[in-house]
C-alpha cells in the first residue's frame, strides 16, 4: 500500500500523538510515595485508633487510598508515628486513655495501656501489625527515630519514680519527665530497651530511662543532641504547652546512649513554647503567645513567634541573626514547622483556637530563608489555606507537594510548592481528601515497592 505525502504526514502525526499519550499515561500512573495518617476514631469495638494510607501521584499530587487501609493503630489515642529502618517498619505511639475512658490524661489521672505498635511495610504500602512495646515512663506523647534507623526515642511526660529525678537534674529536681530509648533490630524491627549507662537508680539497678526536666512539651533530635523543650508551670492535660527552656543530651550514633552535658536547662525568655524542631541544620522553637489586655480593657494582640537557633558546644542554643520573627498575625496556635528539602522556605502549621475574633484562624504561615544570614521573612501572598486544625506538615518524596493532616475537619490537604517563590498553590485536582475521624499525625514513605 502506498501513501500520499498528505497521508504519510497524517500517519506520522497520529503516531506522535500516540507516543505522547502513552508517556503522559505513564506519568499520571506513577506513585511517588505513600502518605500515612493516624487518627483517633474508628468503627472498631476495641476503641483503637486508626492508620489511613494514600498513594501520592507524581504528576498531580492526588491522593488515592491504599488498599486494605485504614487499619487499627494497635491502641487508643495514637499521637505519633515514625518510619525507620529503610522504611521497612512503621511504629505508632498510642497514648491510651485514663481510667474513666477519656483521652484527657493528666499526671493525677494518667493514661493506661499506652504502647508502641510495630507494623511491617509491604508492597503497595500495605501495613501489617507485628509486635507491641512499652515505654518506661507515664503519659508518653512524643516519638522520634534517628537518621540511621537504629534507635527510637519516646518522650514520657512523667517519670515512673520521682526519687531518681535528682540523679540527672540536680538536688532541686523533685519531679521530672523522661526519655525511653530503644535499639531497633534491623531484621525484625523489634525494639530492645537501652538502659542508662551513666546513672544507677536509688535501688541500685540500672536506670531504664533518661530523666528530663519536669513538664516536657516536645523534643527533637538535632545534630548530635536530643533537645527537650519544657515549661516551668505544670501542664494539666495534653496537648502540653508552656515551654520556656531547653535541656540537651548528647546523642551517640554508635550506642544510642544519651549523655548529660549539664544538669540545668537553658531559658529561652518565653512562656508558651509549643514545639521544637530542626531543619536545614538549625533548631526552631515555636512560641504561642496569647492575647493580652491593657489597663483600659482594650484587647491587644501579642503575636506568636518563631525563634531560630544554631547549636553550640554541649547543645547550647545560639540565637540567629535578626532573632525571633512573628507568626502570621491572622493565624493562631503554631504547632509544627517544616523546612522544605532545598532549605529555601519554611512553613508553620497553625491550628487556630476554634473561636471567633482576632488571631483565631487555622492556616500555614510561609517564610523565605535568607541563604547568607538565615533570617526569615514572609513569603508574598501568605498565609496559605489548610484544612481546619492542621496537626502536622510533610513534603512528598518528589519535593513538589506539601500536605497537612487536619484534626477539626478530618482531612488531608495538599498544595503545590512554587520552587521559585515558595508560594503554596492549590493542586490541579481536589486539594483535600477525607479520612475517618480527626487526624493526629502524618508521615511519608518514599519506598514504593
CA distance linking residue 265 with residue 248, whole number of Å: 7
Nine-digit cell string for 371 = 541563604
Right CATH for 29-445 from 2.130.10.10, 3.50.50.60, 1.10.3720.10, 3.40.50.620 = 2.130.10.10
Residue boundaries of the structural domains of the chain: 29-445
- Please check whether residue 83 is in contact with residue 93, taking contact to mean a CB–CB distance below 8 angstroms: no
CA distance linking residue 344 with residue 34, whole number of Å: 24
Q: Report the pLDDT value the prediction gives residue 386, as an integer from 0 to 100.
A: 86
CA distance linking residue 55 with residue 128, whole number of Å: 17
Nine-digit cell string for 72 = 487499627
CA distance linking residue 326 with residue 302, whole number of Å: 9
Is 230's pLDDT higher than 80? Answer: yes
- Please check whether residue 321 is in contact with residue 355, taking contact to mean a CB–CB distance below 8 angstroms: no
Q: Compute the half-sphere exposure of residue 443: CA atoms within 13 Å on the CB side of its CA.
A: 19
Measured between alpha carbons, how far apart are the two ends of the chain, in Å? Answer: 47
CA distance linking residue 353 with residue 428, whole number of Å: 30
Q: Give the lowest-confidence range in 69-78, 101-110, 247-256.
A: 101-110
Q: Give the lowest-confidence range in 98-102, 232-236, 393-397.
A: 232-236
Q: Tell me the average pLDDT across 176-190.
A: 97
* Long-range CB contacts (within 8 A, 24+) of 247-250: 247/212, 247/213, 248/314, 248/315, 248/316, 249/179, 249/210, 249/212, 249/225, 249/315, 250/224, 250/225, 250/314, 250/315
Q: Give the lowest-confidence range in 129-133, 247-251, 328-332.
A: 328-332
The 10s digit of each residue's pLDDT in 405-421 is: 999 889 999 999 999 99
Q: Report the pLDDT value the prediction gives residue 302, as an integer from 0 to 100.
A: 59
The 10s digit of each residue's pLDDT in 131-161 is: 999 999 999 999 999 999 999 999 999 999 9
Q: Give the DSSP per-residue string, 82-102.
A: EEETTTTEEEEEE--B-TTS-
CA distance linking residue 89 with residue 231, whole number of Å: 33
Q: Report the pLDDT value the prediction gives residue 358, as an integer from 0 to 100.
A: 45
Is 27's pLDDT higher than 70? Answer: no
Amino acid at each position: 500500500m502506498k501513501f500520499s505525502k498528505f497521508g504519510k504526514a497524517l500517519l506520522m502525526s497520529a503516531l506522535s500523538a500516540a507516543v505522547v499519550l502513552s508517556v503522559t499515561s505513564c506519568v499520571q500512573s506513577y506513585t511517588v510515595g505513600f502518605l500515612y495518617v493516624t487518627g483517633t476514631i474508628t468503627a472498631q469495638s476495641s476503641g483503637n485508633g486508626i492508620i489511613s494510607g494514600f498513594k501520592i501521584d507524581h504528576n498531580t499530587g492526588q491522593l488515592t487510598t491504599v488498599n486494605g487501609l485504614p487499619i487499627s493503630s494497635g491502641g487508643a489515642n495514637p499521637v505519633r508515628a515514625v518510619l525507620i529502618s529503610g522504611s521497612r517498619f512503621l511504629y505508632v505511639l498510642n497514648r491510651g486513655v485514663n481510667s474513666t475512658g477519656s483521652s484527657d490524661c493528666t499526671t493525677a489521672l494518667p493514661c493506661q495501656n499506652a504502647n508502641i505498635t510495630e507494623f511491617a511495610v509491604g508492597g503497595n504500602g500495605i501495613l501489617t501489625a507485628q509486635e507491641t512495646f512499652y515505654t518506661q515512663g507515664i503519659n508518653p506523647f512524643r516519638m522520634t527515630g534517628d537518621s540511621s534507623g537504629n534507635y527510637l526515642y519516646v518522650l514520657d511526660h512523667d517519670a515512673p519514680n520521682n526519687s531518681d529525678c535528682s540523679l540527672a537534674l540536680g538536688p532541686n529536681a523533685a519531679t521530672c519527665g523522661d526519655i525511653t530509648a530503644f535499639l531497633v533490630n534491623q531484621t525484625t524491627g523489634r525494639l530492645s530497651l537501652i538502659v542508662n549507662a551513666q546513672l544507677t537508680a536509688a535501688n541500685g539497678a540500672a536506670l531504664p530511662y533518661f530523666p528530663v526536666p519536669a513538664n516536657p512539651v516536645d523534643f527533637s533530635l538535632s545534630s548530635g543532641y536530643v533537645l527537650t523543650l519544657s515549661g516551668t508551670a505544670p501542664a494539666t492535660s495534653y496537648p502540653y504547652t508552656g515551654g520556656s527552656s531547653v535541656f540537651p543530651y548528647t546523642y551517640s550514633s554508635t550506642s544510642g546512649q544519651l549523655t548529660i552535658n549539664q544538669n540545668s536547662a537553658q531559658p529561652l525568655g518565653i512562656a508558651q513554647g509549643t514545639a521544637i524542631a530542626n531543619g536545614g541544620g538549625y533548631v526552631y522553637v515555636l512560641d504561642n503567645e496569647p492575647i493580652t489586655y491593657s489597663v483600659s480593657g482594650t484587647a491587644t494582640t501579642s503575636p506568636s513567634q518563631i525563634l531560630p537557633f544554631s547549636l553550640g558546644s554541649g547543645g547550647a542554643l545560639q540565637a540567629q541573626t535578626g532573632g525571633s520573627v512573628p507568626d502570621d498575625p491572622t493565624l493562631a496556635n503554631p504547632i509544627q514547622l517544616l523546612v522544605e528539602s532545598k532549605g529555601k522556605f519554611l512553613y508553620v502549621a497553625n491550628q487556630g483556637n476554634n473561636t471567633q475574633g482576632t488571631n483565631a484562624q487555622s492556616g500555614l504561615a510561609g517564610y523565605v530563608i535568607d541563604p547568607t544570614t538565615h533570617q526569615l521573612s514572609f513569603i508574598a501572598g501568605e498565609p496559605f489555606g489548610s484544612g481546619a486544625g492542621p496537626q502536622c506538615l510533610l513534603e512528598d518524596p518528589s519535593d513538589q507537594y506539601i500536605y497537612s493532616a487536619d484534626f477539626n475537619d478530618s482531612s488531608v490537604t495538599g498544595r503545590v510548592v512554587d520552587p521559585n517563590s515558595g508560594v503554596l498553590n492549590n493542586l490541579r485536582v481536589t486539594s483535600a481528601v477525607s479520612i475517618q475521624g480527626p487526624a493526629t499525625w502524618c508521615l511519608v514513605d518514599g519506598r514504593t515497592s
